[in-house]
Structure 1
């Protein structure tokens, strides 16, 4: 099969990211693999998705680093949806806030064209478009979530602060990677107005109950087809431990990864989110767990597979590619009878 990965840009993609890990896993299984930056997407006069991509083939590599370096050195070449079997949307819209606003929705828009061109698109593009901010999380059952309000009104946030006994988390409705996430308490209450104003510059503010278990970091669990991803008895999961003095556990924000045992409570949370993820065609998702609650559902570019693979000595990326191969086989067998949203989590 020919699988193309949509990334933010070739300049910002790094070999340690999950997308190159998935691409290398597909390449080792004999597939044609392409990488497309959001700005390299287009639409031709015949109604097809077109793009410029970096592709490499017919070479053997010692490992992922040499493979991805060779990919990055390639010149951009044209590709059409007529030549693609799978388009995997792995760009993060929140990385485009401020500088490339046009790029936030581009992958979903062109992904819809690819669906019409009979390309399997993961995750389902129209569902991703509706999940472009953290409001998507609020559509899941309340039992999963910490008490939360979303507003731009300072008084409402101050009232919530009092209700939470002067301890809460503030973060933007749009964003990821731990950017502009603040823990507010009695000690820094004098900065509350300033913090709200700073977050409001980019849109709405999420005010969320503080979970004491967050001092130990959070747990990232990867779900595939709505189920926890596992290989030979090991789950694709990692504990993200906060850097000292920081409430954020995101690896990009200084958190460190550690192994963790998957508990029945974690599996119960995963089971609660499963029906909606399946309904929405969310093939590969990362859920972030603190205590008995979910803090976030990452449906765009959930990372950590490389770290998880090293930690548990399992090839989780290979398992993802095998699942995609099955979907392509289903699509070809049923010849248009199965919709993209269903195939995405089948």
Structure 2
């Protein structure tokens, strides 16, 4: 296969990213790997859509993740058309370019849509990702698995919402990632609320959620593949993330720690209520953030921490994902041949 990873910018990719290990594992399984930045696409005419890519041939020697990034960064870009790419894997973070390049993510998704229409397999499905560019995507799922939520830019709305909740709420950007600009507000500490709302709303809508007491014990990042939990030898691709003392965010790169997650029947029942829609929406690779038995966020662009899940469980989930991808691609090829014969 020729697998292209859509990222923000090559020089900002790190060796410890999930994307890097996915690319390395694909390369070791003899696939050709391409890196495409969100600003690298080109439309020449209706038959020629592609991108200026950094190309890693399957025959090249790569020792590890750091070596892969070193080699890829030195590559000169080559123009590759969509018909030369078997799979385009969308792995960029829209938030990264929201301020400096606000046009980048949405335009890249439009190019991904064009490539899909020309026969390239694109994951996650770009048509559905256009509807899932922020945290409001969670509101399309059953009410019982979601926290009570408000989306607004109004201070008065937030003040009223706080009064309706049991003592605390969480405020964060509607379009955001990585635990940036996340605040906990208590009923008795309203003096900075207006300023906090203004800070978050400066760049768009804010999202207010009820505070769940179970959040004090951290959260669980749980991975789904094609609508199903990733399970190897009875171990789930998941981690329990615990925040540092005095911190409300449990994101790993915000100082959170990872350990083996205890997956209960309640958690699996919650996941079961969202899995079919995610599959129907073409959300092939997804990371769910779960507190108690409530889903706080559905990560569909570039969910990370699969590396950490592999480490704490001593299991190669990355290899599992790539093997599943190969099987899925083979099935798609058979379907195309059948359709062609008809």
TM-score bracket for this pair, using the shorter chain length: over 0.9
Residue 109 (structure 1) aligns with = 110
Determine if the alignment matches structure 1 residue 241 to structure 2 residue 263: no
Unaligned runs of 5+ in 1: 339-346
Determine if the alignment matches structure 1 residue 44 to structure 2 residue 44: yes
Quick one: structure 1 residues 100 and 233, their matched pair in 2 at CA, closer, same or farther if it must change by over 3 Å? same
Distance 1:52 1:321 in 2: 24
After superposition, residues 160-199 of structure 1 pair within 5 angstroms as 160-199=161-200
Determine if the alignment matches structure 1 residue 33 to structure 2 residue 42: no
Is the Cα–Cα contact under 8 Å of residues 40 and 52 in structure 1 kept in the other structure? Answer: yes
Quick one: structure 1 residues 326 and 188, their matched pair in 2 at CA, closer, same or farther if it must change by over 3 Å? same
Is the Cα–Cα contact under 8 Å of residues 172 and 182 in structure 2 kept in the other structure? Answer: yes
Residue 343 (structure 1) aligns with = none
Unaligned runs of 5+ in 2: none
Is the Cα–Cα contact under 8 Å of residues 48 and 114 in structure 1 kept in the other structure? Answer: no
After superposition, residues 320-339 of structure 1 pair within 5 angstroms as 320-335=321-336
After superposition, residues 299-338 of structure 1 pair within 5 angstroms as 299-335=300-336
C-alpha displacement of 1:212: 0.9
Distance 2:65 2:194 in 1: 47
Greater than 6 Å deviation, 4+ residue runs:
none
After superposition, residues 202-213 of structure 1 pair within 5 angstroms as 202-213=203-214
Is the Cα–Cα contact under 8 Å of residues 258 and 312 in structure 2 kept in the other structure? Answer: no
Distance 1:100 1:52 in 2: 18
Q: Secondary structure at the match of 1:221?
A: strand
User: What is the TM-score normalised by the length of structure 1?
Assistant: 0.94
Quick one: structure 1 residues 177 and 337, their matched pair in 2 at CA, closer, same or farther if it must change by over 3 Å? farther
Is the Cα–Cα contact under 8 Å of residues 2 and 31 in structure 1 kept in the other structure? Answer: yes
Distance 2:258 2:6 in 1: 26
CA displacement 1:205-259 (0-9 Å, x = unmatched): 2111101111111100000011111222211101111122110111122212122
Distance 1:69 1:215 in 2: 40
C-alpha displacement of 1:337: 7.3
C-alpha displacement of 1:147: 0.9
